[in-house]
Amino acid sequence: MKLKDYNNQSLPRERLNQLGPSSLSTAELLAIILKSGTKKENIIEISNKLLKKYQLSGLSNATLNELKNEHGIGTAKASQIVAIFEILKRIPKENNKLKITCAKDIFNYYHNSLSTYKKEHLIAIFLNTKNQIIKDKIITIGTIDSSLIHPREIYYEAIKNLASSIIIMHNHPTGDPTPSKEDIEVTNIIKQTGKILKIKMLDHIIIGKNRYWSYVESQNQI
């Protein structure tokens, strides 16, 4: 069924104008963004298939190459999807006044996005003298290995952003945040470099599916 065959009042854009965005399904909202379908399927049908395959969380982390090969999507629509979700991921980062008081603050702030990644992401978080987030930056993607981590990349960004301290953080795609031997080695290397540069590493936090591990909290438990 083509969209033009729908009653005008049933069209997503018309319903959004009349009833507001909360009245629409996720597929209808996605259809408004993507606009047009194919000769065989309208854009609502294509949107429903995408959501059934990826779910919303998976769609938010799908790559351009994955999406552009889906039926009815192509490069242009795939770019729109990737761009929309990238904008959404950046919204929390605008709030650079968030004050970090403990590891749980980091877990609450980053868990929704980081816990869905299929690969390990090591991220450095830069803070001012009030422990407010100035910026964060992905340092590496892939297995965390001390031989691949260059503290200079982290502390170069820290100096450039006039950070007083840093927090490092990464995810475990398995969902279990228990640190590996390599995780501890990376922590010690970055911590020692910070001491030399007088930029303190406040913590290393590993984010799992529903819980986290904190280097500082683990030291306090000894």
* Residue 181 token pair: 């031997």
Instruction: Give the three-state DSSP class for 140.
Output: strand
Those residues with Cβ within 8 angstroms of residue 186's Cβ, 6 or more apart along the chain or in another chain: 122, 144, 145, 146, 149, 168, 204
Res 199: pLDDT? 95
pLDDT digits 0-9 by tens, 68-93: 999 899 999 999 999 998 888 776 66
Write down all domains in the chain, each with its CATH number in brackets: 3-90 (1.10.150), 95-220 (3.40.140.10)
Q: Residue 140: how many CA atoms within 13 Å on its side-chain side?
A: 19
Q: What is the rounded end-to-end Cα distance, in angstroms, of the chain? A: 65
Residue 182: both structure tokens together: 């390599």
**What angle do the packed helices 12-19 and 26-34 form, to 10 degrees?**
110
Residue segments in the chain with a per-residue pLDDT below the cut of 70: 1-10, 91-97, 144-148, 220-222
According to the model, what pLDDT value does residue 67 have? Answer: 92
pLDDT score recorded for residue 166:
96
Q: How high is the pLDDT of residue 148?
A: 63
What is the reported pLDDT for 58? 86
- The pLDDT assigned to 7 comes to 47
pLDDT at 95: 54
Contact 155, 189 (CB under 8 A): no
* Cβ contact 126:161 at 8 Å: yes
